[in-house]
């Protein structure tokens, strides 16, 4: 059995803004490793622990250079680490049909979520609105759709309250188990729950999803081919993105393209927002 954990940071307890990553890096990295350790503990305490041959961790925030291979290996010798950037499939690099379960850790609300802590979609500087087949999407649903294309369920999402509202109250993906690490009070404001509560809920729900029948967990899937509509933050970004041959310009800030698979859809989005981010 192989478990895949895609890790971001905006949905971690104790992290309120992007500046903490560089201004308080030691504490930031400590919190990051702590959250991973709680998920690993949940796997280890489950009855299926002996069946797990590999736990792949994808360091998926920004350049993906925040998690320590040494520290992770001390948590569990079955851990493999994917890090660095740029890379194909970005937050889901290395995932293939050999995996049995996906967990999202530290995930956050999508673009424009009211009070969503550090809300964005792959790029806080470029993507102002993101839709697939005319439906609003965030990183959780896009990445889950890629896992679904491979036939792998996302069994647990751990993140902030804004994302939980999107998935459940707004009906984006209400079937998945969820842990809220903090209450989002604004883009750069949070109320973090007591650490004992966060650890226990992550531990309990990780154990629960490990105990479940993975084949009965719902797959999140989208109809293909996919039509992506991306509204940029500026017309200059759209000017540059429009230079790509597969891009159609809809208006001053909006571009669109079509992809045949979720793998192509996800990689195209990441590449396009990356290109737009080079525009000044």
* pLDDT single digits (tens) 222-233: 999 999 999 999
The CATH code of the domain that includes 43 is: 3.40.50.10780
Q: Is residue 114 part of a domain?
A: yes
pLDDT tens, residue by residue, 22-79: 899 999 999 999 999 999 999 999 999 999 999 999 999 999 999 999 999 999 999 9
Rounded Cα gap, residues 49 and 3, in angstroms? 11
Spell out a b/e string for 168-190, using b for 16 or more CB atoms within 10 Å of the CB, else e.
eeeebbeebbbbbbbbbeebeeb
The predicted structure's pLDDT at residue 22: 87
Extract the residue ranges of the chain whose pLDDT is less than 50: none
The predicted structure's pLDDT at residue 28: 93
Number of domains in the chain: 1
Q: Do residues 175 and 218 make contact, with C-beta atoms less than 8 angstroms apart?
A: yes
Q: Is residue 63 part of a domain?
A: yes
Q: pTM for the complete prediction? A: 0.97
The predicted structure's pLDDT at residue 27: 92
Q: Is residue 267 part of a domain?
A: no
Domain that holds residue 162: 2-122+138-216
The predicted structure's pLDDT at residue 250: 98
Q: Is residue 237 part of a domain?
A: no
Rounded Cα gap, residues 188 and 42, in angstroms? 30
Q: Count each helix (H run) and each strand (E run) in the chain, helices first.
A: 8, 13
The predicted structure's pLDDT at residue 280: 75
């Amino acid at each position: 059995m192989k478990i895949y954990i895609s890790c971001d940071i905006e949905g971690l307890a104790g992290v309120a803004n992007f500046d903490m990553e560089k201004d308080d890096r030691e504490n930031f990295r400590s919190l990051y490793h702590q959250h991973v350790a709680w998920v690993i503990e949940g796997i280890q305490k489950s009855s299926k622990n002996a069946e797990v041959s590999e736990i792949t961790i994808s360091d998926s925030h920004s350049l993906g250079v925040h998690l320590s291979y040494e520290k992770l290996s001390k948590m569990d010798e079955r851990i493999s680490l994917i890090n660095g950037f740029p890379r194909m499939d970005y937050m889901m690099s290395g995932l293939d049909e050999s995996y049995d379960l996906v967990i999202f850790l530290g995930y956050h609300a999508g673009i424009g979520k009211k009070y969503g802590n550090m809300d964005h979609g792959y790029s806080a500087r470029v993507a102002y609105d993101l839709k697939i087949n005319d439906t609003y999407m965030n990183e959780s649903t896009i990445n889950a759709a890629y896992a679904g294309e491979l036939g792998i369920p996302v069994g647990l999402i751990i993140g902030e309250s804004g994302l939980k509202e999107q998935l459940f109250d707004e009906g984006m993906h209400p079937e998945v188990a969820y842990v809220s690490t903090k209450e989002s009070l604004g883009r750069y404001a949070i109320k973090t729950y007591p650490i004992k509560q966060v650890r226990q809920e992550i531990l309990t729900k990780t154990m629960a999803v490990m105990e479940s029948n993975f084949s009965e967990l719902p797959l999140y899937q989208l109809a293909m081919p996919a039509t992506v509509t991306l509204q940029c933050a500026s017309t200059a970004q759209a000017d540059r993105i429009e230079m790509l041959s597969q891009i159609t310009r809809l208006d001053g800030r909006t571009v669109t393209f079509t992809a045949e698979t979720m793998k192509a859809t996800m990689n195209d989005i990441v590449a396009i927002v990356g290109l737009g981010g080079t525009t000044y």
